[in-house]
Amino acid sequence: MFELLKTDPHSKARLGRLTTSRGVIDTPVFMPVGTQGSVKALDPRELLEMGTQIILGNTYHLSLRPGRDVIRAAGGLHAFINWPHPILTDSGGFQVFSLARIRKIQAHGVEFRSHLDGSLLFLGPKEAMAIQRELRSDIAMVFDDCPPHTSTSRELRAAVERTKRWASECRDQPRATGQLVFGIVQGGPDTALREECAKALKSMGFDGYAIGGVSVGEPEPEIFKAVELTEPFLPAHLPRYAMGLGTPAQLVELVARGLDMFDCVLPTRVARNGTAFTRKGAISIKAGAFKADFRPIEEECACYACRPFSRAYLRHLLNVNEILGLRMVSVHNSQMYLKLMADIRTRIGAGTFGEFRREFIANYLPTRRVLSARANAER
Ligand SMILES: [Zn+2]
C-alpha cells in the first residue's frame, strides 16, 4: 500500500508512493482542501491540470449540508462532486471541538449543537466512520479529541485517553471497499503524551498516521516541536500526515522532518484577500506598487493565472471585486503549493533535497514579516 522509495541522506525527507483504490499518490504530497465538497473557487479540471493527486473533504460539514442521505443517493462523494480521483475525509473531530458548541463529551462521542442552526447532534467514532463509509472516501480519518493549544496538562491527558479509546472503536467499524484508515496522534506539546499516544495507535495497526493538534493557533516553534516529538514513534514503512499545515517554508521544513502528506486552507483562503505565494514569500497583489506592473505574479510560474495575466490586471480585478481576480490568485497559489511538492519529490529523488531546502529557506521571506512590512508601507 505504501512504498518508501528513497530517504534523504541528510534529513528525514522521504520519497514514497501511496496506492489507494482510486489512484497512486506520489509523496510528499499537498492535498488541496475541499471542506464543503469543493476546493474554493477551483473546478476539478483546473485541479487536475495543476497536478492535484488527492483532495480533502470534511465529514462534519458534509454531514450537515447537504447531508449524508443526499451524498449516499448520489453514489458517494466522488460521484457527487465529479472528482473520480482519491479523496481523504477528515473525521469531523477537529470541527466538533473548534466550531460547534459542545454540550457534553460522552464515553462514545460528543453531543454538540450545529454551528449553523443550533440543532442538537451527536458525533463519535461509530458515527464518523459510518459517514465516511457513505462518502466512500479513499482515506478515512479516525474520530479524535483535538484540544486547543491553551489546554492544561490535565485536559491534554483526557484528550489523549479519549483519542486512544475512540481510535480503537474506529478501527473496529466496517469500511467502504478499499478504504484506508489513518490514526491521529494527539498530546499537544507534551513529550510523554505524544509518545504514549503514538505507541498506542501504532499497536492498533492503522494504514497511516497523522500528527494532529498542530496548527491550532500555536507559534511556529511549537508546531515543529510537536512534529519532532511524534515522528520517531511512527512506523517508518507507513505514510505520515501533518494535519492542517502550513506555509510553503513550513512544508519544506516538515518534509525534512519526515512527513509525507499535507493539507492547508492557506492557498485559497489568503487568495480571497489578494495575497499570492511566491518562492520569495507572500505578496499582496492589491498593493499600490503593482498598479502598472505588467509582469505575472511569478515569472517562472506556468499556472493559468501567470501565463496570460499581469499583476496590474489581477490587482484591478481584486479592487473592483471581480470573481476572476480571486479565482486566478487561488489558481496560482494552489499550483505554487503543488509545484513546490513536485520539486521536492524531484530533489529527494536526485539526492539534492538538502541544497533545495537551504536555497528555498534562504530566499523565502517569512509570511508574517512580509505582511507586517506591507501594512507599515501602506500606513
Ligand atoms: Zn502562477
Distance 371 CA to ligand 1 centre (A): 20
Our CA angle for 241, 1, 11, nearest 5°, is 45
| 90 given a catalytic annotation | yes
Span of 26-40, 98-112, 157-171, 331-345 with lowest mean pLDDT: 98-112
- So what's the pLDDT on residue 42? 98
Distance 46 CA to ligand 1 centre (A): 13
Distance 12 CA to ligand 1 centre (A): 29
Among 8, 90, 145, 207, which one carries the catalytic annotation?
A: 90
Q: What share of the chain is helix, strand, coil (3-state, %, to 5)?
A: 45, 20, 35
Distance 293 CA to ligand 1 centre (A): 15
In whole angstroms, what is the distance from residue 166 CA to residue 299 CA? 49
Distance 270 CA to ligand 1 centre (A): 15
Read off the amino acid at residue 160: V
> Is the CB of residue 22 less than 8 Å from the CB of residue 138?
yes
In whole angstroms, what is the distance from residue 374 CA to residue 106 CA? 47
pLDDT average, residue stretch 9-38: 97
Stated pTM of the model: 0.96
Among 138, 144, 207, 263, which one carries the catalytic annotation?
A: 263
Distance 301 CA to ligand 1 centre (A): 5
Read off the amino acid at residue 252: V
Confidence class for position 368, pLDDT limits 50, 70, 90: low
Cα distances (Å, whole numbers) of residue 368 to 30, 174, 249, 281, 373: 22, 44, 12, 9, 8
In whole angstroms, what is the distance from residue 361 CA to residue 348 CA? 16
Give 117's contacts (C-beta < 8 A, 6+ positions apart): none
- CA 203 from chain centre, in angstroms, equals 25
Distance 54 CA to ligand 1 centre (A): 20
Distance 331 CA to ligand 1 centre (A): 7
> Is the CB of residue 356 less than 8 Å from the CB of residue 346?
no
- So what's the pLDDT on residue 101? 85
In whole angstroms, what is the distance from residue 231 CA to residue 63 CA? 32
Give 373's contacts (C-beta < 8 A, 6+ positions apart): none
pLDDT average, residue stretch 64-85: 97
Distance 100 CA to ligand 1 centre (A): 36
What does R_g of the chain's alpha carbons equal in angstroms?
20
> b/e for 362-377, b at 16 or more Cβ within 10 A?
eebeebeebbeebeee
Closest-CA residue to 334 (of 243, 244, 269)? 269
Span of 94-108, 143-157, 287-301 with lowest mean pLDDT: 94-108
- So what's the pLDDT on residue 379? 30
- CA 126 from chain centre, in angstroms, equals 23
Distance 42 CA to ligand 1 centre (A): 14
Per-residue pLDDT reduced to its tens digit, 218-266: 888 999 999 999 999 999 999 999 999 999 999 999 999 999 999 999 9
- So what's the pLDDT on residue 102? 84
- Give the 3-state secondary structure of residue 304: coil
- Give the 3-state secondary structure of residue 147: coil
Distance 29 CA to ligand 1 centre (A): 19
